[in-house]
């Protein structure tokens, strides 16, 4: 009886390397998938809008276009979309992101539509104010 010196083994090291690289790529890319980019106005206070995983985002861009989550919708579609979402998740908060150059009335129309749909918790998203040079330094 002659035994072969060849020993077949699966080398898992390259598989683990590839999986770790993919994990790192997804960890880096996921925070960048926040939706539609807009220039948010600066907040005057440090108010928190709640749990980001539960919020229903509505975005009003500078040209007046509306995005519900990341899907573009016409303004006349907004009340129907809000009614459907409210029927499915009545306790979820709605956050409205408006570009700083958008007409004030466009954002107010979105807020009114959210209230009429029955959402009790509707908020506005702003960016944090920049830290000034003298006030931000400590000695």
Question: pLDDT digit string (tens) for 82-138?
Answer: 999 889 888 888 899 888 888 888 888 999 999 999 988 888 887 777 766 555 444
Range of the domain at 117: 56-125
Instruction: Give domain status of residue 34, yes or no.
Output: no
Instruction: Give domain status of residue 136, yes or no.
Output: no
pLDDT of 113: 92
Instruction: Give domain status of residue 89, yes or no.
Output: yes
Instruction: Give domain status of residue 97, yes or no.
Output: yes
Looking at the structure of the chain, the number of domains it has is 1
- What DSSP designation does 111 have? H
Confidence (pTM): 0.57
Q: Is the four-CA dihedral 114, 120, 121, 124 of positive or negative sign?
A: positive
Q: Are strands 94-98 and 56-60 parallel, antiparallel or unpaired?
A: parallel
pLDDT of 43: 64
Instruction: Give domain status of residue 71, yes or no.
Output: yes
Give phi and psi for 127, each to the nearest 5.
-90, 160
What CATH number did the domain enclosing 60 receive?
3.30.420.270
pLDDT of 53: 47
**Using CA atoms, how far apart are residues 117 and 68, in angstroms rounded to an integer?**
14
Instruction: Give domain status of residue 27, yes or no.
Output: no
């Amino acid at each position: 009886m002659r035994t072969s010196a060849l020993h077949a083994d699966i080398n898992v090291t390259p598989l683990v390397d590839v999986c770790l690289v993919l994990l790192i790529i997804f960890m880096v890319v996921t925070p960048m998938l926040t939706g539609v980019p807009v220039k948010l106005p600066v907040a005057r206070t440090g108010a928190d809008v709640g749990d980001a995983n539960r919020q229903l985002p509505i975005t009003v861009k500078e040209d007046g276009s509306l995005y519900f989550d990341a899907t573009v919708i016409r303004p006349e579609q907004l009340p129907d979309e809000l009614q459907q979402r409210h029927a499915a998740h009545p306790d979820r908060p709605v956050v409205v992101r408006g570009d700083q150059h958008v007409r004030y009335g466009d954002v107010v129309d979105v807020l009114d539509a959210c209230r009429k749909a029955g959402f009790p918790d509707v908020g506005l998203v702003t960016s944090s104010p920049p830290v000034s040079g003298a006030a931000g330094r400590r000695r």
